[in-house]
Copies of this chain bind each other. A is one copy, B any other.
């Protein structure tokens, strides 16, 4: 089975992984199912070193990239999807089961980079991590034993992605803006919301996360994101101007 070209567009992103065995297991699962782009956000440095020096460490591990912050790790992706085993988390996100979500992910991979996020062994993805996601994908485990081993979770997700050999149809939707662009919009909007008094000047994580999710739900095209960026910059400039006038 040759590896479909679009598999190279998937970024498997491990956030704050603690156990080197799990990093190795994730890399092996990637290799099994034909994926190659591994990104590590803020891993325990010991775990990362041990995983890379392990006997039989794969080429996937050798070419893994490391990031300090999740925002950087997903900046080139037009779709960012978090994974969870939890069903009724107070998610402010659309939730798709793995069998339903995987085809959506594959459709997007046909045209642009996609990030699939896995949280740490103990706590999964944080609310901040999730605020960078467009939607969340749930592995359908049973109620009593929802917590999956990280390597197994990666394996099951990639199996499902590779499961359907059909080439996805090209959707004719406009090209979506990459996450880095959406993040710039979020930053300027946050500034405007603070200077305008919609948010309090003191930065609070829940408020920022709410705005981050709000902007991601817009699903802006690359073209429109440019327009909105221009609009927001002008608004920010105007408000700053008003602020600076002598009383």
Q: A residues bordering B, Cβ < 8 Å?
A: 1-3, 21, 25, 28-29, 31-34, 58, 85, 94, 96-100, 139-149, 151-152, 155-156, 159-160, 162-163, 165, 169, 171, 189, 192-193, 195-198, 214, 217-221, 224, 227-228, 230-231, 234-235, 237-239, 241-243, 245, 247
B149–A28 CB distance below 8 A: yes
Question: What's the least CB distance linking A122 to chain B, in Å?
Answer: 13
* Nearest 6 Cβ contacts at the A-B interface: A242-B242, A196-B238, A152-B155, A31-B145, A198-B234, A34-B142
Q: Tell me, in angstroms, the Cα distance from A32 to B100 when the chains sit together.
A: 19
Instruction: Specify how many copies of this chain sit in the oligomer.
Output: 2
A193–B231 CB distance below 8 A: yes
A152–B25 CB distance below 8 A: yes
Residues of B close to A94: CB separation below 8 A = 171
Q: A31-B142, A196-B235 are in contact. List 10 more A-B contacts (CB 8 A).
A: A1-B143, A28-B149, A96-B171, A98-B159, A149-B151, A152-B152, A156-B159, A192-B235, A193-B234, A241-B242
A162–B140 CB distance below 8 A: yes
Of all chain B residues, the one with the shortest Cβ separation from A240 is: B242
Of all chain B residues, the one with the shortest Cβ separation from A230 is: B198
Residues of B close to A147: CB separation below 8 A = 32
Q: Tell me, in angstroms, the Cα distance from A21 to B219 when the chains sit together.
A: 43
